[in-house]
Amino acid sequence: MVCPVCGSDEAIILKNKLIKGKNKEIREFLLKCDECGSVYNERISQDNPKPFRLIISEHEDTHKIFIDLFPDEQLAVGDFLMSELGKVKITSLELEGEKRVKKAIARDVKTIWASSEEIPARFGVSIDLHGKVASFKCETERDFKIAVDDILKIDKYVARVHVIKTEERKTTKGYAKAKVIKRVYAKPVKFNHFDYDLTKYIVQAKPLNKHKS
Ligand SMILES: [Zn+2]
């Protein structure tokens, strides 16, 4: 909005009216210029929200739904959206021709790919048994913290965490929250005490595997 008399863009809003059209939403302003005091009208129109395809992954399940968004809205990987299935995080934006991008204006997007932020976190736990590996999948609350050097119990093993692999990196220091952990590597210790027991969180256990490396 720019004053038609002096060209200043500083103004106060005297009146503000919303007109809902069939395809557009129009906001009509009555403005008073801060510089010269002229009173003028301004109209801002925005396309009405439209449904966009949204595919939400929940571990191995996917849900295909629609979400209403303003076509002018800027979307980016990592953004959160509130869908009818709860909060989701955008993981990819698909344009026409199956092209995938990290940022786009909603109107150009064919499908929004996202992961659910409502479900428990799932991560793997590997217990290194000198040449063999006991492997588990666990599900915990998303904010459950695991630190390097934690002593954990899982199934019949008590083990010390030595590496945490997250979506971004592998670390041998500090801690991570379950929602970003891919896998925890631990080595058995001869203790009877432990910091926590993951046994009740096991959703899948694999018999002993031979080390691949
Ligand atoms: Zn003016």
Q: What is the pLDDT of residues 52-90, one digit of tens each?
A: 999 999 988 999 999 999 998 999 999 999 999 999 999
Handedness of CA 87, 88, 89, 95 (dihedral sign): negative
C-alpha 149/C-alpha 113 separation (Å) is 36
Confidence band of 210 (pLDDT split at 50, 70, 90): low
Query: What is the tens place of the pLDDT at every residue in 158-194?
Result: 999 999 999 889 999 999 999 999 999 999 999 889 9
CA of 20 to the centre of ligand 1 (A): 29
C-alpha 47/C-alpha 139 separation (Å) is 42
Reply yes or no on whether the pLDDT at 51 is more than 90.
yes
Tell me the C-alpha to C-alpha distance, in Å, between residue 133 and each of 183, 185, 211.
13, 10, 6
Handedness of CA 204, 208, 212, 213 (dihedral sign): positive
CA of 9 to the centre of ligand 1 (A): 8
pLDDT for residue 37: 95
Domain ranges of the chain: 11-47, 50-116, 121-210
Reply yes or no on whether the pLDDT at 1 is more than 90.
no
Query: What is the tens place of the pLDDT at every residue in 22-34?
Result: 778 888 999 999 9
Reply yes or no on whether the pLDDT at 197 is more than 70.
yes
CA of 10 to the centre of ligand 1 (A): 8
Confidence band of 113 (pLDDT split at 50, 70, 90): very high
CA of 2 to the centre of ligand 1 (A): 8
Burial of 154 (0-12, 13-18, 19+ CB in 10 A): buried
Q: What percent of the chain has pLDDT over 90?
A: 81
Residue of 111, 28, 31, 23 lying closest to 67 (CA atoms): 111
Confidence band of 213 (pLDDT split at 50, 70, 90): very low
CA of 33 to the centre of ligand 1 (A): 5
Q: Distance of alpha carbon 20 from its chain centroid, rounded? A: 32
CA of 200 to the centre of ligand 1 (A): 69
pLDDT for residue 209: 64
Mean pLDDT of the chain: 92
Mean pLDDT confidence for 32-51:
91
